[in-house]
Structure 1
Amino acid sequence: MNSKTASNLLPYPVIVLAASGDVDAINAVLKHYEGYIAALSTKQLYDASGTPHLCVDEALRRRLETKLITKILTFKVA
């Protein structure tokens, strides 16, 4: 694993704490993935003149965050 890849990983202790329900650790995981979640939540909308605009669908973003939190809390740490 190169140093660029290693620096993009969540530390193992954060994962363990998040899986056990630690709020600060869960927030750290959400912060780690916020860019990816925003990218997944981005939609292209058009104004009255037909000009495209990229917007984050906040409802979809919240649903993805909720889904991530749910999966974090059911994650089994070896």
Structure 2
Amino acid sequence: MSDMTRNNHLLSYPAIVLASSGDVDAINAVLKHYEGYIAALSMRTFYDESGNPHLCVDEVLRRRLETKLITKILTFDAA
């Protein structure tokens, strides 16, 4: 496990500070930390040509959520 996500699967304060200051590696660590949650939020039921339902990650929604998270990270005041 990386140094940025040690304590009980929580993001460390230094990782949050680095991410909010624009550090690319720290932002990627935050995205990695939340990727499962974002994927779960992005699940949608799609139907094939026969009408059979399939549960899949909506990639457009997933990207929108990631973009929103990055935006909030960069505007977060960690001081």
In the superposition, the TM-score normalised over structure 2's length comes to: 0.85
CA distance in 2, matches of 1:39, 1:26: 20
Q: Which runs of 5+ in 1 are unaligned?
A: 1-5
Match of residue 28 from structure 2: 27
For 1:53, the aligned partner's letter is H
For 1:27, the aligned partner's letter is N
Q: How does 1:4-23 map to 2 (within 5 A)?
A: 6-23=7-24
Regions of 4+ moved over 4 Å: none
CA distance in 2, matches of 1:54, 1:65: 20
CA distance in 2, matches of 1:7, 1:31: 15
For 2:68, the aligned partner's letter is K
CA distance in 1, matches of 2:48, 2:22: 43
In the superposition, the TM-score normalised over structure 1's length comes to: 0.86
Q: Which runs of 5+ in 2 are unaligned?
A: 1-6
Q: What displacement does 1:48 show? A: 3.1
Q: What displacement does 1:52 show? A: 1.6
Q: What displacement does 1:14 show? A: 0.5
Q: What displacement does 1:60 show? A: 0.8
